[in-house]
Amino acid sequence: MEVNIVEQLFPNGLTVLTQLCSTLVLFLVAKHFLWASVKKFLDARADKMQEELALSQKAKEEAFADRKAALEQLNTASTKSEEIVSAAIQQAKQEKKHILAQADKEAAAVKQRAQEQIEAERREMYASMKKEMVDVAFSAAGKLIGEHEGEKVDRQAIDAFVKEAVGDGE
């Protein structure tokens, strides 16, 4: 069996022509009956893709706008929180000053009352001591003299003497 390689490599011209004609007929039939619906489908798909692309672009822009607004709100909130903290610190300092001033005032009042009480007790003690000295001196003078008629005059003289003695001691 002898095989002709040239015939195998190059097809028959009539077969090629028949194939080309059939392809042309199929193409024309497809174009005539299918082209409009395929084109309509492809156009609809392209429109839908374009619409989705526009929506995604719009969503992206909205996301950036929302992000910018959120950052502005965050900055505003941060500023407000700093102001609130600063105001609270300032108020706490003022309250501290007020409390310390009130405590100093109360301490001064307690100290003043204590001084007054000490002074009153001191005066009372001096008065008691003076009275005791007068009574002792009067009693001693009465025993020595033995008379009680000039008791009032003697008491006044002794009081004057004690006042003078206490005045020198203070």
What is the distance between the alpha carbons of residues 95 and 83, in angstroms, rounded to a whole number?
18
32 found inside a domain = yes
118 found inside a domain = yes
Look up the domain containing 48 and give its range. 11-169
10: which DSSP letter?
Answer: S
Question: What pLDDT digit, counting tens, does each position of 24-81 carry?
Answer: 999 999 888 888 888 999 999 999 999 999 999 999 999 999 999 999 999 999 999 9
149: which DSSP letter?
Answer: T
79 found inside a domain = yes
1 found inside a domain = no
Counted domains in the chain:
1
25 found inside a domain = yes
In this prediction the pTM is 0.41
What is the distance between the alpha carbons of residues 44 and 96, in angstroms, rounded to a whole number?
76
2 found inside a domain = no
Instruction: Map tokens 């199929």 to a residue.
Output: 26
